[in-house]
Amino acid sequence: MSSPFRYVAELEASRVILLILQEALATNQQIACRFLIFFFHAFTAIVNFAAVVVRSPKSSLARAAFAQVENGVRLFESIQAGFKARDDLVC
């Protein structure tokens, strides 16, 4: 990828990943929590945004990236403590 827009494309993809997790949790938190792949990708997205803030804090994207980091952390904090998918499977 030699496009000059690859950096912005990565940030946009990271934003969409967080949005997907947010919508999944809003739709049905119990089911969404069973799909750990959502959380793995969301964590990576948060790391992408954090890298923007750490590496170039004065850039025009830093403020928006920090807002996305806060949003992502809020999503992770919204999961109840000690949640285990197997607890939902017991009838």
Q: How many of the other CB atoms lie within 10 Å of CB of 25? A: 19
* 40-79 pLDDT, tens digit each: 999 999 999 999 999 999 999 999 999 999 999 999 888 8
What whole-number distance in Å separates Cα of residue 78 and Cα of residue 40? Answer: 16
What whole-number distance in Å separates Cα of residue 46 and Cα of residue 62? Answer: 13
What integer pLDDT is reported at residue 84 of this predicted model? 61
> What residues does each domain of the chain span?
6-89
| Residue type, position 54, single letter | V
What integer pLDDT is reported at residue 91 of this predicted model? 47
pTM: 0.82
What integer pLDDT is reported at residue 87 of this predicted model? 56
* 2-22 pLDDT, tens digit each: 777 888 999 999 999 999 999
